A and B are shown apart, each in its own frame.
Chain A
Amino acid sequence: NAGVTQTPKFRVLKTGQSMTLLCAQDMNHEYMYWYRQDPGMGLRLIHYSVGEGTTAKGEVPDGYNVSRLKKQNFLLGLESAAPSQTSVYFCATWRAGGDTQYFGPGTRLTVL
């Protein structure tokens, strides 16, 4: 039982490059979230999903796209990376009826 995993753990991009971050969960949770955490700051919600095939915008969605084609996976895409997207990205899940959010270990992304 791996819980919430994120791939990759680290990545360095050049401005304008694209990439996809993968969040996978084996807990069969309905809800999934993507956050970014900038140095010395709290987490800001980028996008979230309430179920397979559905996504919604969070606080800071610009520059990102997401997809939830399978219940267990939530993908975060950067089409044209910018230095302002340098951050640590966290994925989280929530079980319907629960009261705890489970976090992945984070992905550290640097955009040069």
Chain B
Amino acid sequence: AQKITQTQPGMFVQEKEAVTLDCTYDTSDQSYGLFWYKQPSSGEMIFLIYQGSYDEQNATEGRYSLNFQKARKSANLVISASQLGDSAMYFCAMREGGNLRSSASKIIFGSGTRLSIRP
């Protein structure tokens, strides 16, 4: 069965430092996708980054990068040069499915990590 684990309930980081948010997953599928979302205090869900299981390179989107280690089943989010506006809840999510770009499947979420940036 699918499972996403985020072991850090909360983190405090100094502004401008880099931060790594941990995510491990469990799946028996060979084809899957991993996502990270940001949820600020306003409550909206903001998509940050996506990594496909067959993608050979780690995904990057601006200051966000996904450290994908397939053998360890981990998909950590790295935020470089953190900013005060990065303070939010961060969720890791996973989607299983044969051909991810043509079939829908369940998308499940981890319990989240609350990131607080100190000025």
Contact = CB atoms under 8 A, between A and B. Distances in A.
B48 to A, nearest CB: 10
B18 interface: no
- Categorize the interface residue count of chain B: 20 to 34
B52 A99 contact: yes
Contact of B112 (A31, A42, A88, A90): A42
A58 B106 contact: yes
A88 B50 contact: no
A96 B103 CA distance: 7
Interface string A88-107: 10101010111111110110
B101 A30 contact: no
B109 A42 contact: yes
Contact of A43 (B91, B102, B103): B91
Nearest to A100: B47
B7 to A, nearest CB: 13
Contact of A101 (B35, B44, B52, B110): B35
A22 interface: no
A41 B52 contact: no
Interface string A24-41: 000000110101000001
Interface in A32-65: 33, 35, 41-45, 48, 50, 58-59
Given A103-B44, A105-B44, 11 more contacts: A30-B104, A35-B109, A43-B93, A48-B106, A59-B106, A59-B108, A94-B107, A97-B101, A98-B101, A99-B50, A106-B43
